[in-house]
Each structure stands twice: as C-alpha cells, then as structure tokens.
Amino acid sequence: MTAAAASAPNPLLARWSGPFGLAPFAKIEPAHFGPAFKAALNEHKAEIKAIAGNPAKPTFANTLLALENSGTALNRVCDVFFNLTGANTSPALQKIERAIAPKLSAHYSALYLNAKLFKRIADLFARGADLDLDDEQARLLERMHTWFVRAGAQLKAADKKRVAEINNRLAELTTQFSQNVLSDEQSWRMVLDNPRDLAGLSEAQIASAARAASDAGLTGKHVITLARSSVEGFLQSSTRRDLREDAFKAWIKRGEMNPATDNRPIIAEIAQLRQELAHIMGFDNFAGYSLADTMAKTPAAVRDLLGRVWPAAIAKAHEERDALQKLVAKEGCNFEIAAWDWRYYAEKERAARFDLNEEEVRQHFELEAMIAAAFDTATRLFGLHFNERTDLKLYHQDVRAWDVTDADGRHMALFLGDYFARPSKRSGAWMSSYHNQHKLKGDIRPIVVNVLNFARGAEGGPTLLSFDDARTLFHEFGHGLHGMLSDVTYPSLSGTNVSRDFVELPSQLYEHWVSQPQVLKRYAKHAKTGKPMSEAMLEKLKAARNFNQGFSTVEYTAAAIIDMDLHSLKDASGFEAGKFEAKCLKRIGMPREIVLRHRLAHFNHIMGGYAAGYYSYMWSEVMDADAFAAFEETGNIFSQKVARKLREHIYSAGNVRDPLDAYVAFRGRAPDVEGLLKKRGFL
C-alpha cells in the first residue's frame, strides 16, 4: 500500500458516494481488506450480541428485522472481495482469501449456533400464527428458522462445537481446491509455433490464438489455453490428432497436474468431513442432508430423474459413436474413436448431415450482437432498457456497465458484463451481485454482474462465438434478470436466494430465446457482410438442434450421478478420487469415448455450493422446457400476458414462496419430465 493510501480512510469502510452505490474500485488495494474484514466482523458481532441479548420479548421487528438490517458492512466487504477473487484475483488476494475463509466460517457458525438468538427465533416460530405477519414476513420467519435448524442450532453443545470445526476446515479446503484449479489453468498453455500446428483452425480461431499468445508475451506465435472457448474450439477444429490429445488430457487433468496443486487428497478430506457433518445432523449421508431443503427433497427423487434420462442418453450416445467411427473408417484410418476425437468428428458429421459448417455459424454470432440480442429480448418481454455507462471506474478494463431502466424510466439495476478469459479469472461462467435488491431502507436496486470466459478476437476485430457460447451468454443473463427484476422486501429472500434446484429455471428458460428465428433473423448477422442469417441456415440450425445430444447428456448426467454417489457415501474413509470415479463410471456403463463434464479434481460446483446439487440443472430443465411451452402455446414467444406472469411469479418474486408453489402459480400445474425428454430429442 502506498503511503498516501495508508493514511487515507479505508475505502471499504467509508461511505460510498459514487453512482449506483458502486464500490470505489480505483481506491481499493488488497491491503485494505484485512482491516476492513476485522472492523466489519467486530461490528456484526456487536449487532448480533445486542439482538440475542435484547431483554424485550421477541418480535418480528426486534429479532428478524434486526437480523436483516445487521451485517451491512460485512456484506459489503464480502461482496467486493469474493467477486474480485473470482473474476480478477491475484496472489495477494488469494493469500487473504485463504486466511479469511475460516474466520468467516467461524463467524457464521457462531451466529447460527447462538443459543440465545435461536431461542428468540424459535419463540417467534412457535407463535407464528398469532403474529399477524404478512406472507413475506411469514416466509422469512419460516426460512430463518429452517436455516438455523439446518446449521445445527438444536444440537447439543459438543456437537455444535464439532460442527463449527468441520465448517471451518471445509472453508479452508474448498478455498484451496478452487485456487488449485485456477493455478493449473494458469500454468498450462499449448504453444503453436509452426503452420502445421494450425492445421484445421479457422481464420478466426487463428486470430484468437495469436491474441492469446500476444497477451502471454509470445508475439508472433499462437497459444491455446484452458479457457473452455479456446480448448473446445481447438478440439473441434484441429486436424492434428496428437495435439488434440495433448490439449484434451490437460483439460481433464486440471486439479491433479502438479503435486503442489493436487486436489485429490483435498477431495478425500472434504468427503469425510461432509459425511461426519451429515451424521451429526441426523442423516445417513450428506446427500440426504443437503437435499432435505430443496425441491427434490430426497436422493431417491434425484436418482429417479437421472435414472429416467440415463438409458435414453446412453442409447443415443452409442448411435452417435457408431456414426463417428464410420467417418474414421471412411478416412482410411483404423483407430477407435477416443475422447479427444469426439468433438472433431462430431463437427464433421454435423457438417455432412446438415450441411452446417461451424466456422460459418460462428460468423453469425458476434459477441456485441449477442449482447444486444439478450438485451432486446429483455426489452420485449419485460420492458427493460439498457444504457451503457462509460464513465464508471470498474474493477478491470474489460468490464462494461449498463444502467437498466424500466418502461417508465425508473432505475432497476446496474448491470456489469465481464466477457473475456484472462489468467486472473477462474474458468466457467457465472452471475453474481455486488449488492442485492431489497426495501429495508428505501427501494435499494441491485448491482448484478455476468462473468464469462470467451476467447477474445484479434486486435480490433470482432469476437465470434459458437452457438453454445451464445447460449451460455443468454443463460447467465437469465440469472442476471432474476437478480435485476427482484422486487421483495428482505435481503435474505431477494433475487437468486432461492432453492438450489429452482435457481437454474430463470437462466435455462432464457436460453430458449437465443435459438428462436425472431431473434436470430434480427441479430445473427454475418460479421463480415452484415447480412442476416439466411432462411436456409435457420432451417439447418433447427434441424441440427438435437445433434450430439446423446454425448452432451451423457457427460452431464454422469457428472450428476458421480456427485450423488460421492455425497451418498456412508463411510468415506480411505477414499481415493481416481478409483472412486472409475468404479462409478463402470457401474453406470459410461462409454469410454466420453469423459465426465467435470472430473472430481476440478469439480468446483460440488466442492462448493452445489454439493449433492449438480442434478439441479436437469431438475430445472424439466421446468424450463414446460415454461417456454407456455409462450409457444400462445403462438407468440414474446406474449405479454405470459411474460407478466413469469415476471410476477418467477423473476421478481425471489424466495417469498415455496418454489413449486411459485411455478404452479405461473404455469397452472406442475411440470413433467416428458418435456425434457422431448426437448432433448429422446422421445
């Protein structure tokens, strides 16, 4: 920290007077976080002590409302810090992250295991019917009581102590796990330093690889990184089977590349600790504990869903493999299709079957146009408007901002878009927020961010996306709308703070619009000619919609099954990740040509907040297929009547009611899995 910065007030603790309540990123240095966390934690501890020790009889105002109003400074520091560690980290921030994770865990364990505080909440819960609460207040009381019980508030003192110890250690382990994956992603790159190495790559891919090389200080060369859009594009296009193998093996070995960043021992300890935690909480295994407060409720319900999809997916994948093997033979080769061959030959098969060329498709999916398409869809559905702000100082030069307003010009949110891969950003794509919507102190509107990892185009040229990339952009923007349209009173119930297997509904539903002719005709314009996508190509995309669906369903469903198997263990002693993977995949008959979408050593989802929850994407897909049909049934995919119901009951409603009740309020009935099977082409 500079001398001037050291003598100035800590910007994380000072009043933020900038536009939209945006953090003063330009003033924040890593050294500010330690003192800020310390001060904010002490402030929150004092607030909790006052609430728990209040001699007055518990009321909604002096207990639940007081809790909702507490921790403002801590939430603000956490929101800035953890958004930065995900999207723009550094060794200094990672060091702080490793130190603060167990401290935060200890703090929240102390909060949820506070006997005096829980006694007040339990008293209110017992008297709930006599408190004259409105629906949202009643929901907050029910949820708060559930959260405390599930955290261990009713346990004996010795068990509470052990739960806190387990939570602290899990915080350390999951932080290290994520940092190890990022380290492996940062450390690997494939340098393509002669023309032969570029064989099969499109002009746009070559330009993107040159840009990646330049960013890495290797001007004049070409580089493939482990950013998904870089490595998957290479696997799809490169004619060099040897290089495809090298890239693929690096991609699937993230988290176990180097002894210093080997996640396999960490997984073993996480599995043992979660199993112990579940037993303390009265469950046979962690899956049972985790699912008890979801829409699914039980591991049996999840396995029933996955079990209905798996046989159809396997059968389809076998058909696809046989077709690809015929292509290999047709080329005069005698090798069996391997995992690093699948994407390459699948693209050949798609081109032959549907006369659809991936490079030609990419030319129609320019990043700027897809951002505009996502915005326009929100305008047509919900009346939102997006005005780019170039005057704001954000956390990285790549990040962009838009002021989001409604049809009456009222400010709804500040939306941040962070679209390009870089070494300081973890892989994948996600939505987050710098603060959530609530009405505790006026109508507080949210700051929402979408973080993606697209391979940047050539200097001065467009960034071209695959159709899957464009769908990912719409997916994350659907999450973003869930945060931006939120219209509830209490922060704990705001935006995406919903059941884990409901939270993917708004995002996966929004994906549907990117494939609709009304959207494609308007925004899928050729990057060079500016001409709209032709009717012929639209028909080809529609015909190819379910191409390779067996492959994608198998790689996803297998990962969901292995997540359930891991967290269904009753005894995790002696756990070895590699052997466990192999045993599970053998049991379910995993084709050797397909690899898990996420192997355990880099499966950040399930080592973090989606433990025993990766099935959620498919659970939500059952709903999203049925929900989009509500628009199709009207003959208008922008039906204002349906959009109003969707906004009221799903996008703006947060967690103010049970998720199934919310869905039924929108659709009029519960969804059925047949919609998912039809969507994927299995029926």
Element (H, E) at 448: strand 447-454
Residue 525: beta bridge partners? 532
Whole-angstrom distance, CA of residue 448 vs CA of residue 468: 23
Nearest alpha carbon to residue 601 among 198, 162, 193, 252: 252
- Active-site residue identified among 232, 476, 511, 555: 476
Whole-angstrom distance, CA of residue 530 vs CA of residue 138: 54
CB 341 within 8 A of CB 594: no
Whole-angstrom distance, CA of residue 454 vs CA of residue 569: 37
Nearest alpha carbon to residue 414 among 391, 434, 443, 438: 434
Look up residue 45 and give its two tokens.
């501890």
Whole-angstrom distance, CA of residue 385 vs CA of residue 349: 41
CB 446 within 8 A of CB 486: yes
The torsion angles phi and psi of 328, rounded to 5 degrees, stand at -60, -45
Q: 443, exposed or middle or buried, with CB in 10 Å at 0-12, 13-18, 19+? A: exposed
Question: What is the chain's Cα-based Rg?
Answer: 25
Whole-angstrom distance, CA of residue 196 vs CA of residue 275: 51
Q: 579, exposed or middle or buried, with CB in 10 Å at 0-12, 13-18, 19+? A: exposed
CB 565 within 8 A of CB 575: no
Query: Active-site residue 621, yes or no?
Result: no
Q: What SS3 state is found at 434?
A: strand
Residues 6+ apart with CB under 8 A from 295: 499, 501, 502, 619, 659, 660
Half-sphere exposure of residue 185: CA atoms within 13 angstroms, side-chain side: 23
**Catalytic residue ranges:** 476
